Structure 1
Amino acid sequence: MDFLSANVFVIALVVFVLIAISRGVRSVPQGEEWTVERFGRYTTSLKPGLRFIIPIVDQIGRKVNMMETVLDIEGQEVITRDNVMVRADAVAFYQVVDAAKASYEVRDLEHALTNLSQTNARTVLGAMDLDEMLSNRDMINSRLLDVIDQASTPWGVKVLRVEIKDLSPPADITEAMAKQMKAEREKRAEVLEAEGLKQAAILKAEGVRESQIREAEGRREAAFLDAEARERAAEAEAKATEMVSKAIAEGDVQAINYFVAQKYTEALRDVAAAPNAKTVMIPLEASGLIGSIAGIAELAKTVGKQD
């Protein structure tokens, strides 16, 4: 009996030791932290990996998820500053940075964060007009992030992002906004069309003006060249007259023939240029004209020798 009792005691002792060892060894998974309580009071937090605690005396209090977590903020009705009812849906991303605070500073952390987010969303959105609300989502997200993160810091939580998922005004307001947007787009289209027509008219007027300027410059250039040609012709005529007058003064008969031939030639030209002239009759005195021309040539040679 004594031997049997001893064996039972040894077996019981071994079982107790094994149970105590198993209760003292803990394997904490990655992404979690476990709090340790000694006689119901928090003492430390166990990091991921193989950890040891004192059996019976210590026990695991809370298993806290330390990974980033998505918090779906339930949609709610919000009254804007201009008295429009808007339904707002949001989502928040948070991460526990202190397992002890998240376990013992607040009861039901996720529920507390949800209510905190809804309350601050009503406060922020209610201080804005509808148009301001719909066009400044980034500003709303930033303000909500600052407020919620500051309020949840004592709970050992870091709020990383807050995003407004949807802002839904009433159907009649949405329809009125759609009509307003359509009217604004039509107005912009009409303004752009008017600007296009204005630019086209300006360009056309500038083109006409440039054409007129160049045409006037062309006429002026042509008039200048014509005047220059007439001036040169007059100078040549004056020089020829001077030469002939000098020759007449010196008693040269050929100079007199020059004037006669000139007038004779002009008369024949006028007769030939008449619109009713069908046939031009050259008089018998044409030989005299030819002689006059020969005299002119002789006169020109004489003057040339004198020069």
Structure 2
Amino acid sequence: MSYFGIAILVLALIVVFSTIKIVPQGREFTVERFGKYTRTLTPGIHFLTPFIERIGRRMNMMEQVLDVPQQEVITKDNATVKVDGIVFIQVMDAAAAAYRVDNLTYAIAQLCMTNLRTVVGSMDLDEVLSQRDAINSRLLTVIDAATEPWGVKANRIEIKDLQPPADITNAMARQMKAERERRAVITEADGEKQAAIARAEGSKQSAILEAEGRKEAAFRDAEAREREAEAEARATAMVSEAIAKGDVNAINYFVAQKYVEAFAELARSPQQKTVIVPSEMGALVGTIAGVGELVGLAKEQQTARTDRRAEAAQAARASSAPPPVQQRPRRGGAVPTTE
């Protein structure tokens, strides 16, 4: 095989490889004709014009993560914090990303750093530490608007780390401790307040129930005294009736009852250590015997009243009976009569 044939074969291979292009998935290639952009190749197999067209830029169309370098930022209240973050971008237009900006990733990183200083510098330290979502949202709006002419979409921006100075960190720790102690004191005071309210409510209910109990007891005591007074009145009336009839035993019964009650009160006195029995004890016994006679007399009177009631009933039945029938006398005999 001659050198000419080898040269022809090599030339053919070069033509084939420069003509047939395979674009992998997730990538797009730009095509240049004599150095001018003509079209964009999507994933798949494509054919170029030999020696006239060539591949210009190979663009990654997948979402990419760029690291935003750490930097010191002065906040609105003159506190210095170290801030870094990450940004998620995706190339939407391969031609714009290839020909409208040089070094796309570096340009986006610098854009994020400058806007991060602007946003954080317009806020106080407390806002920076507590409002990360607001910072992310403001940064995303600014970065997405700035990268749109480059054919790039900023999907998300996150603040990765915030480091305030050591003295501010210590002050924040003391502040947090004081705040937690304040909350603990408030919680304890609130618990004591609730306990005092519960105890007062319990005392109130107890007082109400106790008052109701005293009211019921007083009502029952008054009713008992009323019943006792009624019984005493009936007994006094009976005794008075007996006295009016001239019954001496009734007088003895009444006097003996009062005498025994007075002697019982004398014996129950807490200051009485010695009980002196009166010399009229025999008279007291006689009085009690008189009471016994009074009871017997009452029984005899009750029996007599019962007998009289029975005789009256029998007489009433006899008076209501029909009169006897008289029979005619028989001839030659005596006339029978009915008594």
TM-score, length basis structure 2: 0.78
Correspondences of 1:63-212 after superposition (within 5 Å): 63-212=58-207
Deviations 1:106-163 (A, max 9, x none): 1110011011111111111111111111110011011101110111011111111111
Q: In 2, distance between residues paired with 1:45 and 1:235?
A: 123
1:258–1:296: 8 Å Cα contact kept in structure 2?
Answer: no
Letter in 1 for 2:226: E
Find the aligned partners of 1:18 and 1:302 in 2 and give their Cα distance. Answer: 160
Q: Distance in 2 between matches of 1:300 and 1:53?
A: 150
Q: Which runs of 5+ in 1 are unaligned?
A: none
* Runs of 4 or more above 6 Å deviation: 7-11, 300-303
Of the structure 1 ranges 254-263 and 178-187, higher mean CA displacement relative to structure 2 is found in 254-263
CA distance in structure 1 between the aligned counterparts of 2:126 and 2:166, rounded to whole angstroms: 15
Amino acid at match of 2:288: L
Distance change in 2, residues 1:290/1:145 (3 Å): farther
* SS of match in other structure, 1:89: strand
Corresponding residue number in structure 2 for 1:23: 18
The aligned length equals 301
Letter in 2 for 1:69: Q
Matching residue within 236, 239, 242 for 1:241: 236
Q: Mind listing any 5+ residue stretches in structure 2 that lack a counterpart?
A: 307-339
SS in 2 for 1:284: helix
- In 2: Cα distance, 1:288 partner to 1:86 partner: 115
1:276 counterpart residue number? 273
CA distance in 1, matches of 2:300, 2:51: 150
Q: Give the direction of change, closer, same or farther, for the CA distance of 1:254–1:280 in structure 2 (3 Å limit).
A: closer
Q: Which has the larger radius of gyration?
A: 2
Contact 1:26/1:53 (<8 A) preserved: yes
- Give the conservation status (yes or no) of the 8 Å contact 1:258–1:293: no
Distance 1:211 1:278 in 2: 44
Deviation of 1:14 (Å): 5.0
On the 8 A contact 1:261/1:293 being kept in 2, the answer is no
Secondary structure at 2:161 match in 1 = strand
TM-score normalized with structure 1 length? 0.85
By relative contact order (CA 8 Å, sep 6+), the higher-ranking structure is: 1
Deviates more, 1:175-184 or 1:245-254: 245-254
1:45-94: per-residue Cα shift (whole Å, max 9, x none)? Answer: 22223332222221111111111111111111212111222221111111
Q: Distance in 1 between matches of 2:126 and 2:245?
A: 109
Q: CA deviation at 1:101?
A: 1.0
CA RMSD of aligned residues (A): 3.0
Q: Are the counterparts in 1 of residues 249 and 290 from structure 2 also a CA contact under 8 Å?
A: no
Is structure 2 residue 51 aligned with structure 1 residue 52?
no
